[in-house]
Structures are given as structure tokens and as C-alpha cells.
Amino acid sequence: MRRPVHRLTRLEFFALIGVILIAAILRLAGLGRVPPALYRDEAFYGLDAVNVLRGQHAIYFPANNGREPMFIYLLAASIGALGRTPFALRLPAALVSLLTVPATFLMARELFGKRAGLLSAAILAVTLWPVHLAHVGYRVGLLPLLGALAVWQAARGARTGYTRHWIAAGVLYGLSFYTYLAARFTPLVIAAFAIYIWFAHPRERTSLRKAILPFAVSALIVATPLAIYALGHWDIFMGRGGQVTIFNPGIGGPNPWRTLAGNVARAAGMFFWRGDFSARQNLPYRPVFDPVMSAFFLAGVVIAIVRARREAASALALIWVVVMLLPTVLAEDTPHFLRAVGVLPVVAVLPALALHEASRKMQEARGRWQVAGGRWQGRVWDSPGCGNQFGFDKL
């Protein structure tokens, strides 16, 4: 069954443009000057990028605990064009963060409707966490961007049935492994979601089988060069994970399971109570959301849980957040806003669901009870495609 995604009205289009402009101002203002000095890791990125300009075209950069290559090549292009300046060093991260805002809109619109998409993009545009990371020249922001685009294309494939969208989703997903080590947890998201579809939506098993082949083949083709390197340099490729895991006796101590329980609590609390303490990644200890948005985030989680049994999109959002918190839950210094970056931009979608639902309820109530001239006015939520559709109609 192919259902249309309704186009934006003129007002909604200009609202999206306004959201992107606000995101651009927040991410580009003071770029290269705020923070006032380069961090050690930024300097290493810059050195790797300079080596690329000198002709060292690596598939993986082993210095400083190892780095995936995509961001470094973007950085090399920026430095080659603008020179060896802090602005050139940080510009790719800012642009990647900016592009994630419209990518979030596309993803959320495809999953939950256009108004949920607009709200998600607006929340991501002004949330401090991605804005802060946009001012630091790290590779982590590429993972949310490619993740959002891959989910967008997969959702289009589920809606339309066109194989080309599944191929595009596979290509984008394969590229995500070239971004940041947290991408290595995403196969768990796919496996958990496939199991959910298999048992919760048995009628969609045929569609699932048809989607797996083009998605998996295209993803494998793209990711194979990096996989070959990993198999040949396993100690380098996996070295950083072994250094920071709580199952390293020097990190987790004699009882890593107690450490794990504490990390789970701290990871959950990062949205409401206390966030990352490092000024490199956050305003120290500030949670992801302020108290008001925290309440909407919690309400969005509840809405997604209630709907997850029948709506695949809600289930996917929950699975994605839970699994992509594992990189920080299983490592030291929880909550760590770099290791947890894989939950972006889905965490912006959850409060958007609650805001969308609250707006819809208010409009319905106003339509039922508004009286003008002694007669009832039957105004209800009448924007096509934006009513109660919070998930896939068909996969």
C-alpha cells in the first residue's frame, strides 16, 4: 500500500527555512573562536588531514587510538580550500551538524508526519548538545547525519515499495561505518527491529524479506574496504574499545556488573538530570534537555511505548535510542556525549511526538467546545496526512 507524504504548505515551508536559518546561526556564529583554543584531538584530526593533502590516502587513520576516514577527508578539503586555520578545522563539523537538521525533518516526516518532522527539526536546531558539538572539529556528527538519511530512505522504501530506496538506504548505512566507532552498534538496531517486525507484524514478513537483499548487498559493498582493513588490523581497529570498556579490569573494577547498573542509570539521567561533565563535549553537567523539554521527552517516550505494539516507527525510535546508548553505557565516564551521539537525532523526535499530540488534542478540544453566535463550530485537526499517523501504515 502506497500512501502519499503530503507536501508542506507555504507557511510550513517557510517555517522549515526559518528553523534551518536559526540552526545555521547557532552553529556558525563564532566558529573558530568559540571554544577559544583547539583541543588535542582536533589537532590530531588536523595533522591527519594535512597528511591527506600530502598524498597519504588511508582507509583508516591509526594515530591517536584510530579514526574512521570520512571526516578527515572532509577536513582535508576544508583546509585545502581555506588554509590551516581553526575556522577551516571546525567548519566541516558545523556544516555536518547543520545538514542534520533538514535530514531530521525528512526522517521524522517520513515516519510520523510533516508536523512531527518540523517539530523534530526545530528541537534539534536549538538543543545545546548538537550545537556545542558543531563548534568542535570532531567526526562524531557524521553518524547522526547518515543515520537519519538512511532511516529516511528505508522508510520511503517501506512506504513506496521501490527497491531504489532500499539500495540508497544500504549505501548510506554502509557509509556510516566510515564515520565514528559507535556505528558498530547499529547492526544491533537492525537485528532488533527485524525481530520486532517478524513477530509484531507477521503480515509484513514478505516485505521484510524483499527489503533485506538490496539493503544488505549495497551496505556490504560500501563497507567492505573498511571491513578488509579491520580484519587485517584487528588490534588497531578495536583497540580504543578495549581501552574504555567497563569490562577492562582497570576501568570497571572487580565488579563490572555493578558499574554497568550505575552507567544505565546515569545514561537515562542524562536527558533529565545530569549530562556530560567535560567542557569539551557539553556545558559541564547540563542535561540534554531543560526541565520543560525533559517533560515532553518523557511524554514522548510514553507515547512511543504505548504505540510500539502496532506502529513500527515508534518501535524503531525506542530501539534506536536504547541500543545507541550502549556505547556510553558500556564504557567509562558515562554519560559521555561523544559516545552517545548515535541517539541523535532520534531523541529530538520523541519530544516532538508529545508536542504534536498536545497540539492536536488542544485543537480538537477547541473545535468541540468553541461557540460562536450560539452555534457549535466543528473545527478539528484537518491538515491532511498529519492526524493520527504516527507510524508506518505498511512496511
Q: What is the pLDDT of residues 61-85, one digit of tens each?
A: 998 889 999 999 999 999 999 999 9
Do 157 and 218 touch, CB atoms closer than 8 A? Answer: no
pTM of the prediction? 0.91
Residues 6+ apart with CB under 8 A from 39: 136, 280
Do 381 and 364 touch, CB atoms closer than 8 A? Answer: yes
Give the whole-angstrom CA distance, residue 219 versus residue 216: 5
Give me the mean pLDDT over the 265-286 stretch.
Answer: 96
Look at residue 393 in the predicted model and tell me its pLDDT: 39
Residue 23 above 60 pLDDT? yes
Give the whole-angstrom CA distance, residue 263 versus residue 185: 17
**Within 13 Å, how many C-alpha atoms sit on residue 52's CB side?**
23
Give the whole-angstrom CA distance, residue 190 versus residue 183: 12
Q: What is the pLDDT of residues 170-208, one digit of tens each?
A: 999 999 999 999 999 999 999 999 999 999 999 999 989
Name the nearest CA neighbour of 137 among 255, 46, 29: 46
Give the whole-angstrom CA distance, residue 209 versus residue 391: 20
The partner residues of 245 in beta bridges, in order of sequence, read 331
Q: Which residue has the cell 525481530?
A: 195
Q: State the angle between helix axes of 163-176 and 205-232 in degrees (0 to 180), rounded to the nearest 10.
A: 30
Domain ranges of the chain: 10-368
Residue 308 above 90 pLDDT? yes
Lowest mean pLDDT segment, chosen from 5-14, 136-145, 184-193, 306-315 = 5-14
Give the whole-angstrom CA distance, residue 269 versus residue 267: 5
197-227 in b/e burial notation, b at 16+ Cβ within 10 A? beeebeebeebbeebeebbeebbeebbeebe
Give the whole-angstrom CA distance, residue 206 versus residue 157: 14
Mean pLDDT computed over every residue of the chain: 91
Q: What is the pLDDT of residues 344-373, one digit of tens each?
A: 999 999 999 999 999 888 887 776 666 554
Look at residue 5 in the predicted model and tell me its pLDDT: 63
Q: What percent of the chain has pLDDT over 70?
A: 91
